[in-house]
């Protein structure tokens, strides 16, 4: 089956979905903590899944297509993923403790995440859509569907 949706559209829509979950966590954390916690957990698992999709499926194909490995755009994205993970975990520690005082950590995460997503949506994903064949894009989507939950559903260092 040939893919009909682009990488840019699919991954951009996932960014939007994740942004909405994080915004809901932020809006609810001082008024309905249980709901906020559910939103944060969905955001965390979703963001971790998104990173797995990129690092295990999308980036290796991009690197094969371009021949750019060291110091290229995917190397930059991987480094930013580590920063995102650190900031995500800082918020997660507060969420585990039922402490809604995560404003500073949220701003730090958003600072990295917003710039990161813009680079992906405006540079990397469009490049991928130009370089990849429809069959390769279909292969990306097929591989994404096969990523096991245990690859990204980690919470507090264990699967959850």
User: What domain count does the chain have?
Assistant: 1
Confirm whether 2 is domain-assigned: no
Confirm whether 55 is domain-assigned: yes
**Which range of residues forms the domain containing residue 129?**
7-159
For 106-136, the pLDDT digits (tens) are 999 999 999 999 999 999 999 999 999 999 9
Confirm whether 106 is domain-assigned: yes
- Contact between 6 and 127 (Cβ < 8 Å): no
For 78-111, the pLDDT digits (tens) are 999 999 999 999 999 999 999 999 999 999 999 9
Confirm whether 38 is domain-assigned: yes
Question: Which residue did the predictor score with more confidence, 126 or 151?
Answer: 126
Helix (H) or strand (E) holding 27: helix 7-28
């Amino acid at each position: 089956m040939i893919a009909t949706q682009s990488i840019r559209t699919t991954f951009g829509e996932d960014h939007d979905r994740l942004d909405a979950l994080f915004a809901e966590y932020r809006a609810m954390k001082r008024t309905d903590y249980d709901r906020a916690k559910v939103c944060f957990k969905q955001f965390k698992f979703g963001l971790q899944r998104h990173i797995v999709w990129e690092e295990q499926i999308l980036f290796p194909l991009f690197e094969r297509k371009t021949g750019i490995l060291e110091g290229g755009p995917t190397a930059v994205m991987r480094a930013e993923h580590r920063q995102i993970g650190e900031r995500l975990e800082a918020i997660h520690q507060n969420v585990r403790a039922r402490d809604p005082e995560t404003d500073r950590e949220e701003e730090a995460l958003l600072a990295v995440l917003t710039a990161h997503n813009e680079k992906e949506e405006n540079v990397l994903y469009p490049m991928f859509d130009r370089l990849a064949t429809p069959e390769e894009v279909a292969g990306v989507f097929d591989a994404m569907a096969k990523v096991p939950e245990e690859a990204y559903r980690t919470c507090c260092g264990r699967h959850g």
